[in-house]
Structure 1
């Protein structure tokens, strides 16, 4: 009697832990991509997208962690505020599958993370060239 109860509790905890791990890797990759997009003006959006996708390779290609392709959206390159949005899908465990289908009508859970970075504060006047010319 105890063994089925313990296994049921482990199954209930496994899905949230897998989603939490996936979300934390996604958030880290989005933040690093936003910093790269904000501080490396010479890099193209394709380079930043490849950088983010490389960081997302830390998520195992198992349905309970991630299923399908990653969607990476970049915005604000070479502006004062940049944003990176990462979206993916997670297949629920069989215990959660019917509940997810009943609530959402879909067989996969959508997981998304967005990171925003401000390159320059709003109070800072002048351009980068103006500030550099002061010290040269």
Structure 2
């Protein structure tokens, strides 16, 4: 079983049609709040994907590198078509994406330039 910080070889090959099933969009964080009730340190994010997707909530274990007051306005990538997941008393509606740093702590993924909200990764 691999971990979130696994840097081993690539996962098993999938078809391009399988990749297209994962809907990854860019959104702008509009609110970030501490989530002290979480088992592991986390923040509650509200992300604006614009258009028909709108505002979605996400729980993210990103407290090592990010403070809540620094996040509004930051663009991030998230999977928007997974079913909602209950994280304690909080319903996480999207999976905010990140990669591990050298210590396994999450670093958020986002575009290098400002792009329109709701843009799909291709």
Shared fold (TM-score, shorter chain, > 0.5): no
TM-score by length of 2: 0.25
User: Hey, which of these two has a bigger chunk of helix by percent?
Assistant: 1
User: Hey, which of these two has a bigger chunk of strand by percent?
Assistant: 2
Bigger Rg over Cα: 1
Q: Identify the structure with bigger relative contact order (alpha carbons < 8 Å, sequence gap 6+).
A: 2
